[in-house]
Structure 1
Amino acid sequence: MNHQDIKKIIQECQKQTKIEYPYKGSFFTPRFKSINHIEVGKSRMISNPITILIELAYVLYKDLRNLLHKWVDFLFPRNQQLVGKDFSSELKGRITFASSEGPEAIPIHHMRVEFWAKTWLGQWRKLGSALSDDQGYYLLKFDQKAARSIWNLSLRVEAYQTTHVYFKDKKAHPHYTIFHREIIRKDDLRGGSYMLETMRLHLWEYRKDYPAPRVVIKDREKDAPQYYSQARQDALAQQFIPYELTKLKHLEMLEQGSHKLTLDYIQRDYPINLSRCIEKRLPGYTRSDSYFGNRQMNGMNRAAFWPDPEEQGSYWVKYFGSCQYETNQEFAFPDAEIKFLLDAEGLPLPSQIFLTGPLTSHEKDAWQKRSFTPADGEAWNQAKRVARVSGSLCTEIDDHFTGTHLNTEQYAIAAYRNLRINPIANLLLPHLKEVVLINHTADKLLLKEFLPISTAMTESGLISRTKDLLGMQDWKGFEPMKSISTAHDSAASDELFWKITKTYVDEFIEEHLEEIKKYWLEIYCFSQDLVMHSVPVFLSDVNWEKLSPDLRKHYLSRLTYYQFKYSFNPELPRTVINGELKAVSPITNQKNGLDISLNDIQNLKESCTYMIFTATYLHTWINEHQYDELGELLYNGVGLRFGSGKNGIMAPESDLAIAPDLEAATKMLWFVNLLSRTEFGFITRNEEGDVNPAFAKLLMDHKEEFLRLGVEVENIESRTNI
């Protein structure tokens, strides 16, 4: 068959395997209480009919309670008009972060503080309001007589944080919630001025137990800095219950020792994926060189094709395996370096594969390198499978979890700690929300429960690797992937989305420039937090002179390729803090908007474009394509066991000793369904009204252009929340 006929079949299979959400369930269908109840093993579900009825009663109770609260709020609204005539009395205080980074507490600037009275009849009276200044101090004017009125039952001072930004009539409307409350005694309000104790708030605190910037969440049900909306919770239940029930059935069969359960049985129980669909239509094609190259270029991996410096027209894709990270002894994870040539249509064809590292359980030489070419027959097909699996695991850890999830989290923490009244909050917060919640869940599901039992990596090794790869992520100098041919759809789509996002960001900043300058302190503090908590540049703390020749060569190969892959410029001047060369570049070094230059504005535009690009489109691409690649157990996966054969992982697909075991198999298909099929929060669908309509319109204006590149703009997520 020619390329066009094959392409048509692939497109038909993409439509057939397209992610849909048809499941509606019924009253007595098992359900999750929340996203936090999902487990790689047996998730905590409500399944017993009696329990479901009790849960219904509890839900009805909560609904009635919420209705009562709304009714009370309706009867006794918080009128924003100040009560009083003589506003000569003062409440003074200061707000700081509870956790200090140095000898002095860090002030919380521009935090909204309000003084309220509640009457004996339940009515609210607003007595005063203020914003904290650059040093966290606030001075709130109020009428002492109105505050000490006999009609007032209680007095309180409340500090507010911005939790969401919604858009109505094309204007941003921040949503504030009470973060901290202090009760004031009326009898203490004597004299013209009253000094409150400093509010030391545990606001978006940085963790100290992880080597990369992460937020503190002790109890995800009670003390998370933000929470999923009910609509997001409902979407998860609707979309994912069928796959949870499938996994539970398989685990029950395993416990019962059922001989009926096989890899093929497990495979057929989950939805058909892209490679299986194509294989039914074109037997053998998904194992061909042509399909291998196509998926490396335009599949989940969206590989970086590095031009061979010595051979024009050749390209290299490199996946670095276990390296020096902690691993187990059950799974292989060799380096895979693949050389490609372009065919007549611009698609990459593999011409050589190098595998470096142990391929069997008895090998110990980490530097043993083997070369394979199409002339090697079956060994060539086996080498492609090994390269596929190593590449998938690298993509999952390096590009998906680290490059989008953790990368976005570092910007989210700094943003929510510092951006409040600067218009940049309205630009960024809709795209940075919820990522810390899913990352907290991933700590358990991905780093503890799934990858350590399904791959060569231990939890400790995974954490070390994420820190290293985060050291190659920087907004400064970043550019989207460049197309190497007209068939390079993923790169063309990158460039298109980047261009649109840049236009959106540039126009937004120019429109609100005066307000942005007025509250430039927030940008400065945002930048300071980013740089201060950034990980060091990858390998910047290594003494190269003390490395062995093999390790030095390997480190240099990783560093060079990562710089190309992640568009990381090592020549940029970078900040050194406590001896660490920080990976993230500062956006500005100016506190005052009157002192900024055009370069500061340009930095702000570039950094905002990068944040939105990473949190939305880049994450969407990898997430949406995971089931395409990882949904067929014997074709691909995230780990190959060494097995018992003398050739280890260099074995045919019929050797099930190197394939996932039955438990890992159902958990893997469950996991990739969780990632690919439980999305909520899209830019153009704007389900919760939290996306700027101007951004959605720009994307919809290019709908057909995206579609020609295989991207449906309606499926581009507005934030990273799964």
Structure 2
Amino acid sequence: MLAPLRRLLSALGLQNRDTPSDLLEPAELARWYSGLGPDERAAVSRELASRVRAPRPLRDPATLPAVATGRLIFEHDGPQGPIPLHHLKVELWDRDPGAPDDFLGEGFTDDDGHFAVRYDPADAGLGDLPDLELRFFEPQHTFRKDGRIVESWRRIGAQRGPDDHGGHSYDFGTLRLPYWEYDPSTPLARLLVTEQGTPPTAYAPGRSLAMLKAVAPIELVKRQHLLQIRLGRAPSIAGLQADYPEPMTVRMERQEPGSTRGDAFFGERLLNGMFATVMDRDPEAPGDPSAFRLYFPWNAYEQDGLHCQPDVDVRLRLVEGRLLPVRIILGLREPGATAPGSPTTRRTFTPEDGARWEAAKRIARVSATLDTELGNHLGQCHFNVEQYAIAAHRNLRRNPLRWLLMPHMREVVLINHSANGFLVGPNGYITRASALTERSVDARLLHLMGSYDWRGFAPAAPVCEGHRYAHAAQLFWRVLGEHVDAFFAEHGGAVEAQWREVRRFSDDLVAHSVPAFVCRYLRARVSGKDAPWFVRSERMDLDAKAAEPPPKAVSAVTHTDVPQPGELDALKQLCRYVIFFATFRHAWANNLQWEDAGEVLYSSLGLRWGKGGGLPESEEDLDAAPPPDEATEMLWISWMLSKTNYGFLLANEEDDVHPRLVELLRARAAEFAALGLDVRTISSRINI
């Protein structure tokens, strides 16, 4: 047992003396080695294996006398049965408890998950029969400054074989590996993480420090507020707000009272704030290029009866380059009504209505905030990108596509796993702070996910010169086009050569996406019809997706193992789409939350019915505002999400993003800055 350690001592130069005990006794080193974790042992073994053993001439694997075989499949079967784990690296080792293990050989699983590793039992050491162990590895990469790829391998699992194996063949059989499995308990494409388990990936170390730096100062503030509430000394909304850093709207109100409650600011934030979204023309004003509409259909969902969350129909008009609200129609339930589709009373408000107009704008802001959190942020970025991340990790290993996509999908499943209980679910903040129940949050997310598709997507055109978000989105989209085109010009041949991985990626993506969702209004007014008021560029193809039975929301890239005409361009479009939402779109919705949701009375996720169970009439009606515990939590969340940043595109901390994209963005930094966007604040992936 100590012979390998003596060889280790020799390799380290520790036995050049007559009395090696002057340094480390083999038994002492054995105790040290046995105290290491599995990954640390593997690192020591891998580093020293070539020096511990006497050098051997290179040999043709076919001439080696022994072979270990088997098959790797996913833990969960698909509709057609077992799913092979293709192109994983497999290493065969001789376990030496208390000493560095001996490397015996390596291979890769084939398209069907089968592997065969040939080895020489003598590599286990003189007089030692090998104790077999399989180790499984997934590929990792970094980029050098010149764009060259550096590959490495990350261990993801192991399987013990027999001890003291003296035969010349051993079949490990079919091994099920729980690897990037889909969660069968949800209709969304979500990663399965068991209650006591951990996701198959981890945050970069620097992200934890970024979180601590951002959250530590306000964590004490929130805890103090919650303690005061428990002691029956709840702080006022004004006092609570003053304990947090000053957000944009509070600062503006201090400098110019009323500035953030005006009509011009309302329209500006709908164009360029965290709420920035697709701006349709007003269907009731055909031919008028200055008329626009936003609609939030909350009455379609179950509500808790405690919050006032009506349907909100906002009509806007461009006036001298500014987008101004001109009419707000609210579809109000009776207080306490909870059922989806409850009877409503429509009330219309215009600027001539004074205080009631201000109250209607506040309700519209709250609706926009909730819609942004569930739609633009959680749905379209977090959960949408997760479905591409799972399919990519399950299937992309030999294909160079991995180098292009993986840097932008590396941590999204981790932050989404945290959201399961933190934001959504029975006790999630969105469920508690808004009118939507757990069931209606799930229904809304299902409908949203049913409306997202990569095919045909392009950022919508700006509605005016001051539409900075749309100008920046189009500029970023063009940059991504250059980046993706250049990548495929360099690696397109290799992408096509490994097209079977693309097909399996596409198959997984489509199979686990939700059915396409087209609401009754759009079916009646848009699908199959000429509707010039409806912006189609950012939406899925309603004509195709409105079919019955509904097709899958996500379109397939390919159905064959060899690319067909047009499919390489389709793949490029998919890559561009995923990177866009994992970087620019998420940054815009996430990073502006403290600006647009950092003041309790300006905006929140929900307003309660006001005094006497009526429509909240003013900000002074604190019965309508969030209670103190939800208010401090709202401010804590907004700050944490906006201020915790790590993994920036331009910093490229892990060197996993192609330097070309970094340089393309850096070259256009001034153009983005003119639009109010500092490209240094855009993260390379969703990790907050």
The TM-score with structure 2 as length reference comes to 0.87
- 2:645 is aligned with what amino acid? E
- Structure 1 distance, partners of 2:43, 2:602, is 59
Alignment of 1:330-349 (within 5 A): 330-344=306-320, 346-349=321-324
Opposite residue 543 of structure 2, the aligned amino acid is E
1:73-152 alignment, distance < 5 Å:
73=44, 76-79=47-50, 85=59, 86-118=63-95, 122-146=99-123, 150-151=127-128
Structure-2 separation of matches of 1:156 and 1:440:
32
The match for 2:607 among 635, 640, 663 is 640
CA distance in structure 2 between the aligned counterparts of 1:270 and 1:317, rounded to whole angstroms: 35
Q: Post-superposition shift, 1:646?
A: 5.4
Within 5 A, what are the aligned runs for 1:41-440?
A: 69=40, 73=44, 76-79=47-50, 85=59, 86-118=63-95, 122-146=99-123, 150-151=127-128, 154-162=131-139, 164-169=140-145, 170-185=147-162, 187-191=164-168, 193-219=169-195, 222-258=197-233, 261-309=235-283, 310-344=286-320, 346-358=321-333, 360-361=335-336, 365-440=342-417
Shifted more, 269-278 versus 300-309: the winner is 300-309
Distance in 2, Cα, partners of 1:120 & 1:687? 37
When residues 329 and 190 of structure 1 are mapped into structure 2, their CA distance, relative to the original with a 3 A threshold, is same
The residue number in structure 2 matching 1:630 is 597
- Give, in whole Å, the separation in 2 of the partners of 1:141 and 1:70: 23
SS in 2 for 1:433: coil
| 2:624 is aligned with 1:658 | yes
Matches within 5 A, 1:678-693: 678-693=644-659
Choose which of 451, 462, 479 in structure 2 pairs with 1:472: 451
Q: Per-residue deviation at 1:150?
A: 2.4
Give the letter for the 2:44 counterpart. Answer: D
1:637 deviates by 1.1
Supply the AA of the counterpart residue of 2:637: F
Change (3 A) 1:173 1:78: farther
Which residue of the partner structure matches residue 519 of structure 1? 498
Give a deviation string over 1:438-487, Cα, whole Å, max 9, x none.
11111111013311221101112111211110001000011112111111
State the SS of the aligned residue for 2:68: strand
Write the deviation string for residues 369-423 of structure 1: whole angstroms up to 9, x where unpaired: 2211112222111111111111110111111101100001000000110011211
Q: Contact (CA 8 Å) 1:703, 1:712: kept in 2 or not?
A: yes
Secondary structure of residue in 1 paired with 2:291: strand
1:195 Cα shift?
Answer: 2.0
Structure 2 counterpart SS, 1:150: coil
Alpha-carbon distance between aligned partners in 1 of 2:575 and 2:42, rounded to the nearest angstrom: 41
Give 3-state SS (helix, strand or coil) of 2:48's partner. coil
Deviations 1:608-649 (A, max 9, x none): 000000111100000011111111111111110013335322
d(CA) in 2 for partners of 1:242, 1:231: 18
| SS of alignment partner, residue 332 of structure 1 | coil
1:486 aligns with 2:465: yes
Tell me the CA shift for residue 263 of structure 1.
0.3
Q: Matched residues in 1 for 2:152 and 2:484: separation? A: 22
Shift in Å, 1:570: 1.9
- Equivalent positions of 1:430-579 (< 5 A) are 430-447=407-424, 448-539=427-518, 552-553=520-521, 564=536, 566-572=538-544
Q: Does 1:589 align with 2:559?
A: yes
Unaligned segments of structure 1, at least 5 residues: 1-60, 541-551
Shift of 1:212: 0.5
Retained in 2: the 8 A contact 1:334–1:359? no
- What's the CA shift for 1:360? 4.3
Q: Which residue of 1 aligns with 2:9?
A: none
Deviation per residue, 1:630-679 (Å, 9 max, x gap) = 11111111110013335322x01111010111111111111111111112
The answer on whether the counterparts of 1:117 and 1:124 sit within 8 Å (CA) in structure 2 is yes
In 1, Cα distance between the equivalents of 2:171 and 2:42?
Answer: 35
- Does structure 2 retain, via aligned residues, the 8 Å contact 1:372–1:380? yes
How far does residue 502 in structure 1 lie from its aligned partner after superposition?
Answer: 1.3
TM-fit CA distance, 1:700: 0.4
Q: How many Å separate the matches in 1 of 2:220 and 2:306?
A: 29
Q: Residue 686 of structure 2 aligns with which residue?
A: 720
Range with greater deviation from structure 2 (635-644 or 557-566): 557-566
Distance (Å, rounded) in 1 between the aligned partners of 2:668 and 2:417: 35
The one-letter code of the counterpart of 2:686 is T
| Residues 691-710 of structure 1 aligned to structure 2 (within 5 Å) | 691-710=657-676
Distance 1:267 1:403 in 2: 30
1:323 counterpart SS class: helix
Distance, in Å, in 1 between the alignment partners of 2:472 and 2:594 is 20
Cα distance change of structure 1 residues 654 and 586 upon mapping to structure 2, 3 Å threshold? same
Q: C-alpha distance in 2, partners of 1:218/1:263?
A: 39
* Larger Rg over CA atoms: 2
State the shift of 1:154 in Å. Answer: 2.9
Aligned AA (2:627) = D
- SS at 2:496's partner residue? helix
Letter in 1 for 2:279: F
Change (3 A) 1:557 1:363: farther
Distance 2:245 2:668 in 1: 31
1:269, distance to aligned residue in structure 2 (A): 0.7
Structure 1 SS opposite 2:188: coil
Name the CA shift for 1:557/1:445 in 2 (closer, same or farther; >3 Å).
farther
What is the alpha-carbon distance in structure 1 between the residues aligned to residue 43 and residue 182 of structure 2? 37
Q: How many correspondences in the alignment?
A: 638
Q: Deviations over 1:684-720 (max 9, x none)?
A: 0112222221111110000000000000000001100
Deviations 1:117-151 (A, max 9, x none): 34578344432221111111112222344458524
For the Cα contact (< 8 Å) 2:460–2:535, is it kept in 1? no
Matched position secondary structure for 2:348: strand
Question: Which whole-Å CA distance do the structure 2 matches of 1:351 and 1:494 have between them?
Answer: 27
- CA deviations 1:14-60 (Å, max 9, x no partner) are xxxxxxxxxxxxxxxxxxxxxxxxxxxxxxxxxxxxxxxxxxxxxxx
| Matching of residues 589-628 of structure 1 within 5 Å | 589-592=559-562, 596-628=563-595
Distance in 2, matches of 1:356 and 1:119, equals 72
- The structural deviation recorded for 1:603 is 0.8
- The residue identity in structure 2 corresponding to 1:412 is A
CA contact (8 A) 1:562 1:568 kept: no
Cα 1:227–1:698 change in 2 (3 A) is: same
The secondary structure found in structure 2 opposite 1:389 is: helix
**Partner amino acid, structure 1, of 2:566:** N
Deviation at 1:553, TM superposition (A): 4.6
Q: Residues 66 and 696 (structure 1 numbering): CA distance in 2 closer, same or farther, change over 3 Å?
A: farther
Quote the sequence identity (%).
33
Q: Which residue of 1 aligns with 2:19?
A: none
